[in-house]
Chains A and B, each alone.
Chain A
């Protein structure tokens, strides 16, 4: 009976958390369309989330693209299918690995940073100070971050896709003996517009999730350094899990037909 009670309590707690996050997302959407808008803060977040994430996105995807080419070549050799490396690298990077890796890197780099920053602001009464200065924290902190992530993470995903394919291209042409022109031609021929659009759409969803989780856990953090640490950890965990769950759902929506 006791263990059933624990399961019930855990389920209720999880449902309550989902409800709170859903309400937070709804409030963010509501503030997104109502003035005042803080353009300077939005521009700063474009830079923070987009431009400064380029190195980590580039390095992650180029190594993954290269490793993917090696794996496909080695695996394909078992049934004489080594030639499909360009096609599988392209489809693997654009449909799955590009958006998911970018999403997870953004969760690691941006979600944690947002959560720690806002949680520290809460602990040091800066959120209260914002309110007393007639500035709504949701409008000043959450909206610029979520909107910036919604816009720049798809762009980062597109760039990540290209760099990942480049990683595969370099490995295939420099170490596996593929012809450069033929590799590029095969890649271009195989990819469809819907692949690219699905990748960008996933990027938009993952970016929104990453920024929302950072803001939600930051604004709801506990007291002191321990509260900031717990909020940061929880935000990254939640963002990563939600990104992977959303990826599964979106993949089903885009490619199940």
Chain B
């Protein structure tokens, strides 16, 4: 479904992506792991067109992601941003139903609100949250609202950018379980980027490790611990000793 071929991206002298080759089949949950600053976010932003790669091709369903109707392309995606990226000036329900209140997927206001409340319920939030502003919510609640927004239009493909960053272990577990449940029940194709190994084990069907601008290792999550790749092994065990430099 999503295929990246030799994707490269540099910022000045900093070569972040040096030739990414990755395939995410339809309905699969791919988790991309890697240390901070290895270009994980740039990778998914390249697929969405938020960042333009310097070289390489990105295909979705065999079609070049940079060509064709941009709105129709983006309508297939949902995205949970690292910090939630909720719109401060809008109440929670309007954040969740943002896509349903404008553009090709526009619905009547009442219907959009009902869908928003239903999605909020799906992520474990009560209807009274709907009329609050994002600033009035805790970090965990904001993540859930972001998750509700990502699934509101029932997209085919969902990206999760560091879904548990900044959350306590219990809330991280709740968010991980929610993502796994939603992905399974929606049958969506997903890409998650994280360095939280508990997220990896809960969410992933397959894992890809990004290191030094390339996919260092990829395979089923069940093979991750026994893969024998020294980079992967160091990352999974969290060891300071190994081929990945601790000081970057």
Inter-chain CA distance A38–B82, complex, in Å, is 27
Which A residues from 98 to 123 make CB contacts under 8 A with B?
120-121
If the complex has contacts A36-B103, A125-B81, A126-B87, are A132 and B98 also in contact, measured as CB distance less than 8 A?
no
Give the Cβ gap from A33 to chain B, nearest Cβ, in Å: 19
CA distance A126 to B84 in the complex (A): 9
- A181 contacts the other chain (Cβ, under 8 Å)? no
Using Cβ atoms and an 8 Å threshold, which residues of chain A touch B71?
Answer: 134
Instruction: Report chain A residues within 8 Å CB of B77.
Output: 132
Which residues on the B side are within 8 Å of A36 (C-beta)? Answer: 102-103
Say how far A220's CB is from chain B's closest CB, in angstroms: 15
- Assess the B87–A129 pair: CB atoms within 8 A: yes
Selected contact of B85 from candidates A38, A124, A134, CB within 8 Å = A124
Q: Considering the chains assembled together, what is the distance between the CA atoms of A126 and B87 in angstroms?
A: 6
- Complex CA gap A121/B85 in Å reads 8
List residues 117-164 of chain A with CB under 8 A from any CB of chain B: 120-121, 124-126, 128-129, 131-135
- In the complex the two chains form, is B85's CB within 8 Å of A126's CB? yes
Main secondary structure of the interface of B (DSSP, over half): mixed
A135 — which chain B residues lie within 8 A by C-beta? 98, 102-103
CB of B45 within 8 Å of the partner chain: yes
The residues of A that contact B48 with a CB separation of less than 8 Å are: 131-132
- Which of the four size classes fits the interface of chain B? 20 to 34
B50 interface residue, CB < 8 Å from A? yes
* Residue of B74, B75, B103 touching A131 (CB-CB under 8 A): B74
Chain A: number of interface residues, binned into ranges: 10 to 19
Cβ distance B77 to chain A, nearest Cβ, rounded Å: 6
Closest A residue to B153 using CB positions: A133
Does B207 sit within 8 A of A, measured CB to CB? Answer: no
- Whether B200 is near chain A, meaning CB under 8 Å from some CB there, is no
What are 30 contact pairs spanning A and B, CB under 8 A? A36-B103, A38-B102, A121-B88, A124-B85, A125-B85, A126-B85, A126-B86, A126-B87, A126-B88, A128-B45, A128-B50, A128-B85, A129-B81, A129-B87, A131-B48, A131-B50, A131-B74, A132-B48, A132-B50, A132-B74, A132-B78, A133-B74, A133-B98, A133-B99, A133-B149, A134-B99, A134-B103, A135-B98, A135-B102, A135-B103
